[in-house]
Amino acid sequence: MAVAHVRHRAESLKPSQLSPLEPLGSRTKADNGVNGGCPFRSMPLNLPPQTRRELRAARRRLQPRQHRRHAASVAKQLKHHRFFLRARRIAFYWPTDGELDPRPLLRYANQRGKVCYLPVLRPRNTCWGRGKIWFVRFRPGDRMRPNRFGIPEPTARGRQLKLPWNLALVLMPLVGFDTDCHRIGMGGGFYDRSLAYLRERRSWRRPRLIGIAHECQRVARIEPSPWDIPLDAVVTERQVYAKPSAGDRLVQSRIAPS
């Protein structure tokens, strides 16, 4: 329903901006953007601002009942996911702007003895630089204060702070994703900057990264930018999208038409 609404809105966009907003299920397999049938084959992360706005509007249009159902479904799938089961320290986020609500899973995780964190924009002047996030320990009921974007954050004073390499799993909000687990965020680059160390030191401790989204945030294809950190998986109310393995990519390139 929400997707149909997006399609209706999309009709007023320029042709080059149409396809990422269309439900992929409405196209034939040959036309789904993977093999060139899609006029919008790939989408750079430095998107036209209008595309980000449309994707954000799509998730905001979901009804409260749909939000609850999606949140419950994602929690149900993740409770049994091996990354969640194995992780002790897990970063969540406080939902804003129609994002899928991870708080049912947060409550469950807290009951199961997991140590939960929320992102906080650079709480102090530290060597962990500008435009990055810390992760602050959070228990349901803790005091919160809005950050500069109006998103509630736990107050950092006296709380345990963690950097990403101390976490086992980071659940990430997103604005758009594709089935290769590429992510478009709000455009601040906070997660990418905070995880940039993973590009330089591959053997460095790496948290598992799972994007959480509504199905209506799926786009045909995102061309990753050089700073983009790929996710291990994306979970929606419908399914878990796992990052294709190197083996899958090899097979795909062998069968792809030259």
Ligand X SMILES: Nc1ncnc2c1ncn2[C@@H]1O[C@H](COP(=O)(O)OP(=O)(O)OP(=O)(O)O)[C@@H](O)[C@H]1O
Query: 93 vs 138, which CB is nearer to ligand FFO?
Result: 93
For position 156 contacting ligand X by CB under 6 A, the verdict is no
Least Å from the CB of residue 220 to ligand FFO: 22
Minimum distance, C-beta of residue 156 to ligand FFO, in the bound complex (Å):
13
Angle formed at CA 233 by CA 232 and CA 234, multiple of 5 degrees: 145
Collapsing DSSP states into helix, strand and coil, what is residue 159?
coil
Q: Reduced to 3 states, what is the DSSP secondary structure of residue 127?
A: coil
Binding of ligand X at residue 243 (CB under 6 A)?
no
Instruction: Specify whether the CB–CB gap between 84 and 171 falls below 8 A.
Output: no
Between helix 2-10 and helix 49-60 the angle, nearest 10°, is 150
Question: Does 153 help bind ligand X (rule: CB under 6 A)?
Answer: no
Scanning the chain, the segments in alpha helix (DSSP H) are: 2-10, 49-60, 64-79, 82-86, 103-111, 190-194, 197-200, 246-255
Min dist. Cβ of residue 33 to ligand FFO (A): 25
Retrieve residue 92's tokens: 């969540």
d(CA 95, CA 229): 21
**For ligand FFO, the closer CB: 43 or 47:** 47
Looking at beta carbons only, is 59 or 89 nearer to ligand FFO?
A: 59
Q: Which residues bind ligand FFO (CB under 6 A)?
A: 93-96, 99, 119, 121, 133, 149, 151, 173, 185-188, 190-191
Residue placing its CB nearer to ligand FFO in the complex, 35 or 50: 50
Q: What angle do CA 118, 73, 100 make, to 5 degrees?
A: 40
Which one, 26 or 225, has the nearer CB to ligand X? 225
In eight-state DSSP terms, residue 149 is T
204 binds ligand X (CB under 6 A): no
- Specify the residue for token string 């706005």: 53
**Interatomic CA distance for residues 257 and 252, integer angstroms:** 10
Q: How far is the CB of 187 from ligand FFO (least distance, A)?
A: 6
Q: Which of 147, 190, 242, 243 binds ligand X (CB under 6 A)?
A: 190
Q: What are phi and psi of 133, to 5 degrees?
A: -120, 150
Total residues in contact with ligand X, by rule CB under 6 A = 14
Closest approach, Cβ 170 to ligand X, in A, equals 11
Return the one option of ligand FFO, ligand X, none that residue 184 interacts with (CB less than 5 to 8 A, by type): ligand X
Query: Does residue 187 bind ligand X (CB under 6 A)?
Result: yes
CA distance 135 to 158: 13
- H or E, element range at 249: helix 246-255
Nearer to ligand X, 204 or 227 (CB): 227
The tokens describing 80, both together, are 């049994």
d(CA 28, CA 19): 13
Using the contact rule CB under 6 A, the part of the chain among 30-38, 55-63, 103-111, 178-186 near ligand X is 178-186
Question: Closest residue (Cβ) to ligand X?
Answer: 185
Contacts with ligand X, residue ranges (CB under 6 A): 45, 184-193, 196, 225, 227
